[in-house]
A and B are shown apart, each in its own frame.
Chain A
Amino acid sequence: MRFILSRLLSGVAVIFVVSFITFIILMMIPGDPALLSLGTEATPENVEALRDAMGFNEPWYVQFLEWFTSFISGDLGRSYLYGEEISTLILQRVPVTVSVALLSLLIATPIALFIGVIAALYQNKLPDVLARTLMQIGDAMPSFWLALLLLVYVAAGSSLFPISGFTPISEGFIDSILSILLPSFVLSLGLMGTMIRIVRSSMLIALKEDYMLLAKMNGISKFKTIVKYPLRSAIIAPLTIIGMQMAGLLSGVILVENIFSLPGLGRLLLVAVQQRDLFLLQGIVVVIVSTVVIINMITDILYRLANPTMRIGGRDE
Chain B
Amino acid sequence: MKHLTKIGTSLLIAGIFLGTQTASAQDDDTLNMALSVDPDGLDPHRTTAASTFQITNNIFDTLVKVTPEGELTEGLATDWEISEDGLTITFNLRDDVEFHNGEAFSADDVLYSFERLKADESPRANDFANITEINVIDDYTIEFVTENLNASLASDFAYPWTAIVLEENEEELRNSPIGTGAYALEAWVPQQNLTLTKNENYFDEVHIDTVEFTMMPDATARTTAMLSGDLDIVGVSGDLVSQFEGNDSFQIIENQSNAVQLMAMNLGNEFLSVPEVREAINLAVDKDLLIESVFWGYGEKIGSHYPPVLLGYEDHSEAYAFNQEEAVAVLEEAGFEAADITLDMYLPSDYQSYVDAGQIIADSLENIGINVNIEVVEWSVWLSDIYTGRDYDLTVVGHTGRLDPYVLLARYHSESSENYFNYNNERIDELLTDVQTELDEDVRYEMFSEIQDTLAEEVPALYIQSPIGLSVTQANVRGYESYPIDIIELKNIYFE
Contact = CB atoms under 8 A, between A and B. Distances in A.
Interface of A: 30-33, 35-50, 52-53, 81-84, 89, 92-93, 110, 114, 148, 151-152, 155-156, 159-160, 163-166, 174, 177-178, 258-261, 263, 267-268, 271, 274-276
Nearest to B418: A40
B476 to A, nearest CB: 20
Given A43-B417, A260-B221, A174 B191 contact: no
Interface string B177-201: 0000000000001111100000000
B88 interface: no
Nearest to B172: A83
Contact of B40 (A30, A37, A45): A37
Interface residues of B, number: 58
What 6 A-B pairs have minimum CB-CB distances, sorted nearest first? A83-B174, A31-B380, A49-B120, A39-B48, A263-B192, A83-B175
Interface stretch (B76-84, B296-304, B383-391): B383-391
A37 B123 contact: yes
A46 B120 contact: yes
Contacts of A263: 189-192, 215
Nearest to B37: A271
B25 interface: no
Contacts of B385: 30
A3 B119 CA distance: 57
B380 to A, nearest CB: 3
Contacts of A40: 48, 383, 387, 399, 418
A150 to B, nearest CB: 11
Nearest to A159: B23
B173 A83 contact: yes
Contacts of B40: 37, 81-82, 275
Contacts of B230: 163-164
Nearest to B389: A30
Contacts of B121: 46, 49-50, 52-53
B221 A35 contact: no
Contacts of B381: 30-31
B339 interface: no
A240 to B, nearest CB: 22
Q: How would you classify the secondary structure of chain B's contact residues: helix, strand, loop or mixed?
A: loop
Contacts of B373: none
Contacts of B227: 156
B272 to A, nearest CB: 21
A274 B350 contact: yes
Interface string B292-333: 000000000000000000000000000000000000000000
Interface string B1-37: 0011000000000100110000100000000000000
Interface stretch (B124-132, B446-454, B479-487): B124-132
Interface string B67-99: 000000000000000000000000000000000
Contacts of A92: 189-190, 192
22 contacts: A31-B381, A35-B384, A39-B48, A40-B399, A41-B123, A42-B417, A43-B417, A46-B122, A50-B120, A83-B172, A89-B190, A92-B189, A92-B190, A114-B4, A148-B220, A163-B224, A163-B228, A163-B230, A259-B218, A259-B221, A261-B218, A275-B40
